């Protein structure tokens, strides 16, 4: 799998301190990629290439759902480190920047110290919350239109999904579990969509209600989970798929609570 | 309106709506501004291609698989230019193909069976929409993995 074979050349004599720093850089890279939603095969590949470019002979990474174990080997000396990893939410900006920095190291444009500076200067970029809510509202309305909703229904979906996304971000900032955030967002979206339809806005209540909760589709855990299991990364793959299932269950619970509470059974 | 014109209009409508949808999800995944255009292109390609395949008589599940694989190949092609992993934008691009209404219908039918006992209609609707939805979601996830499974087996994309 090694993308870069260990370069033939002068015998590597990596000082202990340099190897330690390389190990740290590798494990921090793995953590950043894992925490912001990268599939395991890419994480493993990136740290291996980074380590080899920085002069160690081998890099072995064990990637788990909430920790990373990493060993570098140089001159028959091995260094191993473990880091706890917690989910920081999907952030493709950070993933892109880390990956580009690793590619720069591989191309010889950055050395270890330069890479360290680059990593420390990285902060996850976030779009403003109002923009995310509005964009998701429009997304879900387009979904509704694709599924055949009328224009009034699409308007309801914009309102319901934007409110739900705003709530989901707010709840997540208060450090609640994502499961709680998804449950609350599903409840609010279904309530707004269902109650508007109850008041007679639009002729396509089921499509409007179904589209307004689509912001809660756990796309990344699901797709990364499938990628991981098909590539043999069982532990992270299964963990991601279970997480996607739980998020969906939380969403379903929120939807059903709203339907039961507002007596929407006949309408939808 | 001839069948050609109506297919063309359907294709354009699908592609245009999917563009907005994919960009919205891209924003929620914090995709960098310069890559959002690729979310749009991928969304339009996926949904547009799936519409044409369905119009050509291919069942929606297989059409979803092919469309997701096409998006993934577009991702691989773009990844080289962007120096970024294809999933940075392909995940947002396949989300417009998620079968929202069948999923919702299956959930409603199952919970109605739980409340009032199963009737043949509810069982049929739960099974039909549930199976449809499950297969389409699986097709999307596997479709995205196709380049890695068949082409980039032993080497990284970027």
Residue A67: what are its φ and ψ, rounded to 5°? -160, 160
Question: Higher-confidence residue: A2 or B14?
Answer: B14
User: Which pLDDT does position A12 carry in this prediction?
Assistant: 54
Among the partner-chain residues A135, A165, A230, the one whose CB lies closest to the CB of B145 is A230
The shares of helix, strand and coil residues in chain B, as percent rounded to the nearest 5, are 85, 0, 15
CB proximity A143 to B under 8 Å? yes
**Average confidence (pLDDT) over A101-128:** 94
Range of the domain at B30: 3-151
Cα B5 → chain centroid = 24
- Answer whether residue B157 is part of any domain: no
Q: Say yes or no to pLDDT of A3 above 80.
A: no
- Whether A267 shows a pLDDT value over 60: the answer reads yes
Whether residue B158 lies inside any domain: the answer is no
Per the CB < 8 Å rule, is A206 touching B101?
yes
Provide the pLDDT for residue B153: 78
Out of A142, A214, A219, name the one closest to residue B20 (CB). A142
Does the residue B82 lie in any domain?
yes
Identify the residue whose tokens are 């997540």. A172
Which residue would you say has higher pLDDT here, A165 or A87?
Answer: A165
Within a domain: B69: yes
Number of domains in chain B: 1
CA dist., res. A55 & res. A74, Å (int): 8
Answer whether A219 sits within 8 Å of B95, measured CB to CB.
yes
What are the chain B neighbours of A131 within 8 Å (beta carbons)?
27
pLDDT at A6 > cutoff 60 = no
Strand-strand pairing, A58-63 and A67-74:
antiparallel
Give yes or no for residue A251 having a pLDDT over 50: yes
CB-side neighbour CA atoms (13 Å) of A1? 16
- Tell me: the pLDDT tens digits for A137-164? 999 999 999 999 999 999 999 999 999 9
Please report, in tens digits, the pLDDT of each residue of chain B (158 residues total): 688 899 999 999 999 999 999 999 999 999 999 999 999 999 999 999 999 999 999 999 999 999 999 999 999 999 989 999 999 999 999 999 999 999 999 999 999 999 989 999 999 999 999 999 999 999 999 999 898 888 887 778 87
**A136 and B24 in contact by Cβ < 8 A?**
yes
Output the pLDDT for position A135.
97
**pTM for this one?**
0.91
Question: Cβ separation of B141 and A226 shorter than 8 Å?
Answer: yes
Query: How near does any CA of chain B get to the CA of A84, in Å?
Result: 23
**pLDDT digit string, tens, across residues A11-67:** 456 889 999 999 999 999 999 999 999 999 999 999 999 999 999 999 999 999 999
> Between A and B, how many residue pairs show a Cβ–Cβ distance under 8 A?
160
Judge: B91–A220 Cβ closer than 8 Å, yes or no: yes
Testing the interface with A: which of B12, B25, B30, B139 to mutate, by most A Cβ within 10 A?
B30
Is B108 part of any domain? yes
Q: Which of B18, B31, B91 sits opposite A223 (nearest CB)?
A: B91
- B86: closest chain A residue by CA: A96
Closest CA to A28 of A78, A90, A101: A101
Contact A139 B23 (CB under 8 A): yes
CB atoms within 10 A of CB B58: 15
């Amino acid at each position: 799998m090694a993308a870069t074979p260990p370069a033939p050349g002068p015998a590597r004599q990596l000082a202990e301190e340099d190897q330690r720093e390389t190990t740290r850089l590798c494990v921090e890279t793995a953590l950043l990629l894992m925490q912001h939603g990268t599939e395991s095969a890419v994480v493993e590949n990136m740290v291996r290439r980074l380590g080899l470019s920085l002069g160690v002979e081998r890099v072995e990474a064990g990637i788990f759902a909430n920790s990373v174990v990493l060993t570098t080997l140089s001159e028959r000396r091995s260094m191993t480190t473990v880091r706890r990893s917690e989910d920081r939410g999907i952030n493709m900006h950070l993933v892109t920047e880390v990956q580009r920095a690793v590619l720069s190291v591989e191309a010889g444009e950055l050395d270890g110290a330069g890479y360290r500076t680059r990593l420390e200067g990285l902060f996850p970029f976030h779009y403003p919350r109002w923009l995310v809510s509005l964009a998701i509202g429009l997304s879900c309305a387009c979904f509704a239109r694709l599924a055949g909703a009328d224009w009034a229904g699409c308007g309801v979906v914009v309102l319901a999904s934007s409110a739900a996304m705003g709530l989901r971000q707010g709840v997540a900032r208060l450090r609640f579990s994502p499961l709680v955030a998804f449950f609350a967002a599903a409840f609010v979206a279904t309530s707004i969509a269902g109650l508007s339809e109850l008041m007679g806005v639009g002729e396509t209540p089921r499509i409007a209600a179904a589209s307004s909760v689509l912001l809660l589709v756990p796309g990344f855990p699901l797709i990364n989970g499938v990628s991981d299991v098909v590539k043999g990364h069982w532990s992270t793959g299964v963990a991601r798929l279970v997480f996607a299932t739980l998020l969906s269950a939380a969403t379903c619970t929120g939807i059903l609570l709203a339907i039961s509470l507002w007596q929407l059974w006949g309408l939808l | 309106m001839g069948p050609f014109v109506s297919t063309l209009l359907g294709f354009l409508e699908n592609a245009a709506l999917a563009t907005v949808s994919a960009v919205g999800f891209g924003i929620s995944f914090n995709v960098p501004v310069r890559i959002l255009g690729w979310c749009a292109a991928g969304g339009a390609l996926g949904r547009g291609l799936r519409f044409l395949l369905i119009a050509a008589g291919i069942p929606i599940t297989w059409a979803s698989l092919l469309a997701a694989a096409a998006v993934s190949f577009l991702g691989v092609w773009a990844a080289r230019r962007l120096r970024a992993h294809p999933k940075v934008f392909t995940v947002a691009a396949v989300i417009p193909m998620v079968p929202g209404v069948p999923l919702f219908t299956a959930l409603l039918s199952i919970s109605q069976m739980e409340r009032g006992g199963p009737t043949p209609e509810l069982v049929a609707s739960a099974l039909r929409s549930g199976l449809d939805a499950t297969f389409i979601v699986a097709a999307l996830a596997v479709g995205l993995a196709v380049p890695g499974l068949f082409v980039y087996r032993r080497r990284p994309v970027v």
